[in-house]
Amino acid sequence: MFPTVDLDNGAMPPIGDPIWLVGYPSTGGQGSRVSITCTRGVVSGYDTVAFGTLIKTDAEITDGNSGGPALDEGGRIVGVATSVVESGTGQVGYVHPIAAMPAHWRQRLAGGSRR
């Protein structure tokens, strides 16, 4: 049996709450073997885009953990790590929240109808 992770209820996590990004970033292993990595940060704000709101975080997003789940303090998926904007002073990571996912995708992930 495969492990499962619950989805959050779709509410935006509050600013200051911890957030974890999980994936297989190229910086996560030594030699030719890359291991799963969990990167911790905080919800640092929100950014409005054409389709809705993105979650901003200081958790590091690199090749490999982008596209991976963003988890809240309870281990529930709150979104998907998608991109990063870097400057000379650091980076801001962006997470697409679960609410941005089409409703029928959320339903399938939650174990609903497969139609």
Reported as a single tens digit per residue, the pLDDT across 29-81 is: 566 666 788 889 999 999 999 988 999 999 988 877 788 899 999 999 999 99
| pLDDT tens string 101-115 | 888 887 777 765 444
Q: 18-109 has which fold?
A: Thrombin, subunit H (2.40.10)
Rounded to whole angstroms, how far apart are CA atoms 32 and 52?
39
Report CA torsion sign: 20, 104, 111, 23.
negative
Give the separation between CA 43 and CA 20, rounded to whole angstroms. 10
| End-to-end alpha carbon distance in the chain | 23
Q: Which of 68, 71, 77, 76 is nearest to 36 (CA)?
A: 68
Strand, coil or helix: 25: coil
